[in-house]
Structure formats: C-alpha cells, structure tokens
Amino acid sequence: MKAITGATMIDGTGSAPVARAVVLIDHGEIHAVGSARQVQPPEGVEVIDAQGMTLMPGLIDTHDHLASFSYEIASRWGIDEPRSTRHLRIASVLHQTLMTGYTALRDAGGLDAGFALAVDEGLVPGPRLQVGLGFITPTGGMADRVSPLGYKPPAGEDSGLPWGVADGAEGMRAKVREMVGAGAHVIKTATTGGASSAAGLGPKDILFERAELQALVDEAHKRGRRVMCHALGGEGLRMAIEVGVDSIEHGTYLDEDPELLEMMADNNIFFTPTFGVYTFHATHGTPHGKARAAALREHHVKSVQMAMQYGVKVTAGTDEGGWEHGNNAHELTCLVEAGLTPMQAIVAATSHAAECMGWKRQIGSIEPGKRADLILVEGDPLHDISILERGNAVKYVMKDGVTHLDSR
C-alpha cells in the first residue's frame, strides 16, 4: 500500500478542493480518500509527501491523433519514413504524453491497436488507450485519403489500417465489423467536412445518407462500441445527433441550432470542442482551411458556452498530432479562454472525459474503487490553468498505482 498525503486535492468531480488530503492506494486501486482527519495511512506504508502541491486525477484527452505528424498526404499515408522509425516516433510520443500528466487518451484515427496492446503489456510507457483506427465515411469523405493528383495508397500502406471508405447501409455495417475485427475500441466517423478537408467538402457539407449513418451507429452499438462523430455544422451535424452518435467532435456550429444542444443534453451525447487545432489551421492551414477556421472561431466559442448552459457534458480533446504533440493541456487553457471556469475545464479533462469513453467506473476521478491514475502539480491550476501546459508543473505521475514520473 502507498499513501499520498498533504496535497490539496481536486478530485475531478467538480467538488470543492480538499486541503491536506490523504489518498491510500492498494494493488493499483484507490482504496480510501479523505481529509487527514478522516483517513490515516496505516503504519509502515510508503508515504508520498505532497505538501504544498495539488493532487488531481490523471488527465484524459478524448480526441488525439498520436500517429499523426503532418497534414501532408505522404505523412498521413505513413510512407514518408520507414515503418520502424514511425513506430518508434509514436512510442516516444506515448511516453512524452504520459510524462505531461495524461494517463488516458482516445485516438481518433491513425493509431493501430498494437500500440494499445504494447502499453497494456508494459512494453512502452504510455497513457491507457482507446483507438478508433480510422474514419469511416462514404466515398469522397474524410476517410477517402486521395492525393490531390487522384492517387490512393497501395493496399497495405496507410499505416496498415483498414481503408475507411464504405458506401450504402450494408457497406457501413461491413466496415464497422472490419474495424472492430482490426481492434477498434471506438468507431470514428464524419458526417461533414472540416477545416483540413478538401476544397468543396466544407464544415457544413453533408457526407452521409441517413440510412448509412443509422446502419453504422446500429452496428457499432451492437458490437459494444461507441461512435465518435466529427461534425461541424449544417444538416450533417443534425443527422448525427438525431441518429444517436455518442459524441460530437468539433461541433463548431452547434450555436446555430439550440434544439440540437437540448437533444444532446437529453440523450447524454458528449461534446468535444477542439480549439487548438483550429488555431493551427487559422494560421498555418491551406487557403480554404484558413478561411474556414477563421469563420468558425466565434461560433465555436459560443457553441461551448451554450453547451454549458444547456447541460451538455463537454470533454477536452485536442485533435493534436498534425502540428504538435505533448501539449494536450493547452486545450484546457483554450476552454477557460472560451468561458469555462478552471474547475469546469478540469472536469472536462477528467470525469466527463472518462464517462465519454465509457470508463466512468474505472478512471476520471479520485474515488475509492477507481484505478490509481493520479498526478501531482506544483501550484494551483484553479488559479492558473496554463501551468498544466506541456506538463510544466506536473511533478509526479502515477498510472495504475505505478509511479512513472517523480521530479518533486
């Protein structure tokens, strides 16, 4: 058994911080939690003295692309460097991300299931992983990664993942089965274009026929998989919510239709806004990408503010990968800039994120019976959320009861 004592605890549920908290950890699990008066460490246990620090649950990113390193097509196909180099690069990102305080992460496309296996086996240090493998969309959609000259990667390239294009309801069912067979923990789809998609496939352009999306969602749910749906605005956004996907990714134009926010709150559909990626596209994107990102900015901010008012659960997702890795916590700064309190931003990156991933009972808060994924932070993130960025103030990381970083 281990004990962490003396820290101010933010437990991830949104409750007020607890001063001089004591957390007991046994067999990788949180055994007891309380103030020093309520919980005393038994004689002889290893005590981690965290006086003056902030104790939090490990952070969770619900939308990352750990295997992405550029928006260039050759890089997206994974053919611009040897496969071994790419794999070791990803392993390095996994390690780096864990060291910044992220103990769980959902990969929204690009990472194959072998990395989750490697982390679970302890081959490489990294956050707990849920992988989506790749987008599933109809021909011409986000999954159809054709080069500007019309080339497609030869079979077996594209990082060894299943090609994500399917058409028609039966095609969608078969593709979901193929993704699940290849190890997908979650099904990723897109009902609209985005900032980085081709000219002509914009944020409000719809990709799916309703019967196709219904079949995809139904098949995913039958196989116990949640559906995370990239949807920015227009009819594709409405269709995703009506058909019953489990989370809306980006959701930049939700503000234009408050009825959608009501439906999301009623059906517990999560909202993962992604501010970091649009800051990148607004400054470094293609000409049409820049214009799209600039145009959606104020809607995105308003959508998040309205989502909070309507009681939609917001989660922190970066869409990181194409331009950087290792600063997942920048999204928390963005959420606070968009109007969330620092406590709400922390909830978005802990308990709400865990619930969004279907891991509510295992992780996301500091409560007895949950896995011991814990971090210690120097300073008070409720005073300044940006201290979490790049893990600058993160001095201690525990995952599953095992210490991975201790630089106190």
Binding site for Zn ion (CB under 5 A): 108, 319
How many beta carbons lie within 10 A of that of residue 136, not counting itself? 31
Minimum CB distance to Zn ion, residue 65 (Å): 6
- DSSP 8-state class, residue 390: G
- C-alpha closest to that of 278 among 260, 298, 264: 298
Cα–Cα–Cα angle for 54, 55, 60, rounded to 5 degrees: 115
- C-alpha closest to that of 336 among 296, 373, 389: 389
How far is the C-alpha of 381 from the C-alpha of 344, rounded, in Å?
Answer: 12
Query: Which is closer to Zn ion, CB of 112 or CB of 319?
Result: 319
Minimum CB distance to Zn ion, residue 272 (Å): 9
**Residue that is written with structure tokens 């067999």 in the block:** 27
Query: Which is closer to Zn ion, CB of 6 or CB of 202?
Result: 202
Query: Which is closer to Zn ion, CB of 319 or CB of 389?
Result: 319
Minimum CB distance to Zn ion, residue 59 (Å): 18
Please report, to the nearest 10 degrees, the dihedral formed by the alpha carbons of residues 108, 114, 116, 118 taken in order: -150
Extract the tokens encoding 268: 């517990």
Q: Which residues 6+ apart lie within 8 Å of 295 measured at CB?
A: none
Residue 295 vs residues 67, 70, 281, 292, 331: alpha-carbon distances, Å? 28, 23, 11, 5, 19
Minimum CB distance to Zn ion, residue 75 (Å): 15
Query: Which is closer to Zn ion, CB of 18 or CB of 104?
Result: 104
Query: Which is closer to Zn ion, CB of 195 or CB of 394?
Result: 195
Minimum CB distance to Zn ion, residue 164 (Å): 13
Minimum CB distance to Zn ion, residue 135 (Å): 9
Minimum CB distance to Zn ion, residue 35 (Å): 41
Q: H or E element: which one contains 289?
A: helix 287-310
Rg (CA), the chain: 21
Extract the tokens encoding 305: 């503010």
Q: H or E element: which one contains 275?
A: helix 275-284
Query: Which is closer to Zn ion, CB of 41 or CB of 203?
Result: 203
Query: Which is closer to Zn ion, CB of 108 or CB of 220?
Result: 108
Query: Which is closer to Zn ion, CB of 63 or CB of 370?
Result: 63
Minimum CB distance to Zn ion, residue 110 (Å): 9
